[in-house]
Structure 1
């Protein structure tokens, strides 16, 4: 395949950001630059051993309106990690604070186009949108949302401010042991106040870094994801993220091929990415808005929801819709996912296929779907949102009366 055809194929399948990333990788290899997998400008790389970050000399009075900056990578339509982050932004806005979103884009994309994507997919977010390249000044607090944004906050956020880190996954595990792993790991030593989403991430921060983070729990949007009356459940569904190793698509693909041989009459649905050359018949849905995704779920008995780092939000959304999620059986997954209706499987093609087959063979699918939906945790994301508001306010105003700030790791330097 010639380079132009290959580039068009990547553009169609994975979008312009992935095409830009691959082009940068090729250029870096040819020029002998730094590790081409690093998703940040080398000039933004910070070092925990050298950081001394200023904080304000005085705290504002409790109850005043704050300006809170969030550093994030440009959101792709339907991104689960961005959806969670924007729920927290909305909570701070509802509490009377002003938020600014600083987009961190290694490839210098069009910030206005990225804002249009954000407004279309997350219309509840009122925050101002800026490029991080324009600077990070003018905020009371800034919150990193990934390891590359943590480096940008440490390297560019040099005016006095409070600094926090919303940790949705233990991101060194995204990479083999190497430069990216080490640089991701170092961000947890920058001294930012860390808020871990779930016990699995909190446990990794304790074990690997010696950090004692604030911890909040996962939520689930049970208003959107729920059983619908009259839906015929006759299929299985899988979330496809090719090229994202932690989501295990290649393993799911092998399992679905095996499952089709076992139960050829059962419909297979795939969403997320459109995948070519599947070795089994499937209906491909691509990216779906939440309401449309729920409609798909309510046509299915079971679904593949693999993740090899923090648990995927997909698993509990399936539960809420009455779908039995097939999840790799690990202690970390069990720590954060209500387990009463989950099909815990060996993370092998046979293990996943057998769990799917057992789910579709279960009698009385409709009644079981109602029972499955009841196992999703109630309350949506309200607890996590309340925790984020409380922790940001405590960090900026100082601990409220009768409450002490969460301790940080002994290894942390600066930033507090």
Structure 2
């Protein structure tokens, strides 16, 4: 999650204002709050969002699932916004994400005093760092964000936030362990769940073998280029297989094998799309995405890469894990396509496993993290 904020001086409209863009890194003026902080009150500091943002979906889902437990949230959007005002932003959240009761405010508004203040990404952590005590400062970390960048300034800016002394609530054990062992952060992990919409639909053409690929060229950690090389190998070995790409518009890429490019697909349309495929290739170079569980719930066999960042949730009983090489991954996809008994047995186990992963349990774990943050020294 990142916002775009370019500033230009008079007559310099074509020049990028680096200092202005990163002024939040060195801003020393504390942010002020008003009122008395009540128990179970929360201020969530988020960057601006677009419809379809997976990171924001998890944030708003968490806010929504905590509300029945008595938590009262305020959402603060920082770093500029494309929304006309806070009312328009709230409308988008309710209509396209979750019907939260939380109030939405914008950067520059007077902030309420709350028991907790939650950073939701590295840029927002700098704003949270400027807020006064006694609020408990929590870092809702969904991925190891320094790896979103090459070695450089933004890697450092992101990594520095893990030294701010916030209490971490991390998506998955791999990330919680990494923050604890490498940055001495106190951190608890929460797992992943599966929305009820993800269920197997009727397979309309069972005689056709299909491979789904989670294709997101702008998201480097999803290894788009490696995935295309793997699929090309699969096509050369099994030319009758069909390929389905979704996650981003790939029309401007030369893809030599026949495929259906779906672009960005609405959430309600995904279960049927997944159900029409036999195998899915989902690569994760940092933290695991939610897709493997959702695909499993729709009875689509998952092929992914090995690594602690994946194997905190996936294992060889419920997914086909392979080394991060084109040949190893292509072997895994081809095995799943050609060995029907192996694939079906794995899908049975995977579907059962996915059915045990629910967001209610994640909300319980998140609340336990909040309690731990309250009691942390």
Shorter-chain TM range is 0.7 to 0.9
Q: 1:142 Cα shift? A: 1.4
The alignment partner of 2:312 has SS state of helix
Say if 2:335 is the partner of 1:389.
Answer: no
Q: Deviations over 1:294-317 (max 9, x none)?
A: 111111111111111111111221
Say if 2:143 is the partner of 1:177.
Answer: no
Unaligned runs of 5+ in 1: 1-16, 399-404, 408-416
Equivalence for 1:195: 169
Give the distance between the partners of 1:374 and 1:174, measured in 2 at CA: 33
- The partner residue of 2:325 within 327, 343, 348 is 348
Q: 1:179 Cα shift? A: 1.5
Q: 1:206 Cα shift? A: 2.1
Say if 2:281 is the partner of 1:299.
Answer: no
Say if 2:233 is the partner of 1:253.
Answer: no
Give the distance between the partners of 1:166 and 1:331, measured in 2 at CA: 20
Give the distance between the partners of 2:109 and 2:261, measured in 1 at CA: 40
Give the distance between the partners of 1:118 and 1:192, measured in 2 at CA: 26
TM-score normalised by the chain length of structure 1: 0.78
Paired residues in the alignment total: 369
Give the distance between the partners of 2:221 and 2:13, measured in 1 at CA: 24
Say if 2:107 is the partner of 1:127.
Answer: no
Q: 1:176 Cα shift? A: 1.9
- The partner residue of 1:73 within 47, 55, 70 is 47
Q: 1:167 Cα shift? A: 0.9
The alignment partner of 1:303 has SS state of strand
Q: 1:260 Cα shift? A: 1.6
Q: 1:106 Cα shift? A: 4.5
How do 1:128-277 and structure 2 match up within 5 A? 128-155=103-130, 157-158=131-132, 160-221=134-195, 223-233=196-206, 234-276=209-251, 277=254
The alignment partner of 2:354 has SS state of coil
Are residues 281 and 104 of structure 1, via their aligned partners in 2, closer, same or farther at CA, if it must alter by over 3 Å?
farther
Q: 1:53 Cα shift? A: 9.4
8 Å contact kept, 1:70–1:100: yes
Give the distance between the partners of 2:82 and 2:271, measured in 1 at CA: 35
Say if 2:25 is the partner of 1:42.
Answer: no
Q: Which moved more, 1:383-392 or 1:191-200?
A: 383-392
8 Å contact kept, 1:71–1:132: no
Q: Deviations over 1:348-374 (max 9, x none)?
A: 222222211111112256665334312
Q: 1:218 Cα shift? A: 2.5
- The partner residue of 2:347 within 369, 373, 384 is 369
How do 1:9-158 and structure 2 match up within 5 A? 21=4, 31=15, 33-34=17-18, 41-46=21-26, 64=39, 66-106=40-80, 110-111=84-85, 113-155=88-130, 157-158=131-132
The alignment partner of 2:143 has SS state of coil
Are residues 239 and 353 of structure 1, via their aligned partners in 2, closer, same or farther at CA, if it must alter by over 3 Å?
same
Unaligned runs of 5+ in 2: none
Which structure is higher in RCO with an 8 Å CA cutoff and minimum separation 6? 1
The alignment partner of 1:336 has SS state of coil
8 Å contact kept, 2:168–2:176: no
Are residues 257 and 135 of structure 1, via their aligned partners in 2, closer, same or farther at CA, if it must alter by over 3 Å?
farther
Are residues 168 and 210 of structure 1, via their aligned partners in 2, closer, same or farther at CA, if it must alter by over 3 Å?
same
